Amino acid sequence: MNDFQQAKITDVKINPDNLYKEETFTDLTYATIRCFTPIKIDGSVDESREVIYTGIAQLMSPKGPMPVQCHIEGAKNLGEAAARLPDAIEKTIKAMIAEAQEKERQEASRIVVPGQP
């Protein structure tokens, strides 16, 4: 049996109804904004769907640099996305901290039974 006759390891498919064109904008110092413009399979802009903006910033933590990625809610253009990015990063960091604290609380409240993993 040759390589082409073997069963596929992956079944990767693309959803032609959910395509986006990605553009990246950066200030080369603090952050990056990614703009996802919905497009149709022919490459034309799909006006029936909203443009999505995400932000990425790298923050310093006691353990070194930590990348933070967030959704920028309500931005209608790049200017609004840039203005809303600091609050979006702040909201994401607070959610990450709350999640870590909850996991820590759950772990601390776990009942330890001798002989159990």
Domain layout of the chain by residue ranges: 14-107
Q: pLDDT by residue (tens digit) across 33-92?
A: 999 999 999 999 999 999 999 999 988 888 888 899 999 999 999 999 999 999 999 999
Helices (H), the chain: 78-108
Q: Is 56 helix (H, G, I), strand (E, B) or coil?
A: strand
Note if the pTM is more than 0.75.
yes
Q: What separation, in Å, do the N-terminal and C-terminal C-alpha atoms of the chain show?
A: 45
